[in-house]
Structure 1
Amino acid sequence: MKRLAFKMYLNPGQKEEYKKRHNELWPELHKLLKDAGLSEYSIFLDEETNTLFAFQKVSGDVGSQDLANNAIVKKWWAFMADAMRVNPDNSPVSVELEEIFYME
């Protein structure tokens, strides 16, 4: 099982909307992520900086960030584009984080 972490950036004033949309995650997106091997996916918010910290456990070689060509993912990105900092293709601006410590 591989662990992945990355950060993204929430737009100011979008916390509640971001939470609402994720609490109502589309079933087809949930299935896609599970089928891709994600067994856990958490997103945390640092409210001082509006930085989102995401953590995933993944079996195999792909995480959610590797599903960019999927139509469901592209539709989700477009849906979320007003709530967070995005690239020209609506993908979230994200920075992969290096794991430097793990305790089991």
Structure 2
Amino acid sequence: MPKTNGILTILSRKPSVNAEQIMKVMPAEIRATVKLYLEGKIQQWFMQADGGGVIFILNCKEVEEARGIIEGLPFSTESLVDEQYIPIGPLLPLGILLDDKKPE
């Protein structure tokens, strides 16, 4: 089984949520995510290009741990976003480049 060294987390605004609802909670969300970043729990974060949400790479090895972090954020506690969790790890086929043996 591949090694998991992070959880890719996608938060997308629910279709029923409008921009005004998001903006009302945004200051608290920003403070909470910056705190998580400074604690080393968020490795990277990005905005979806269409403006529909954010993407975090969390320093977690288990989805349950990532879910516990995200569900404590204001957007999640206010039920404004849908959440996806994807375990990620090293690209294992790169190991072939380090092995002297030729694939059969």
Shorter-chain TM range is: 0.3 to 0.5
TM-score (norm. length: structure 1): 0.46
Q: Which structure has the larger Rg over C-alpha atoms?
A: 2
Q: Name the structure with the higher helix share.
A: 2
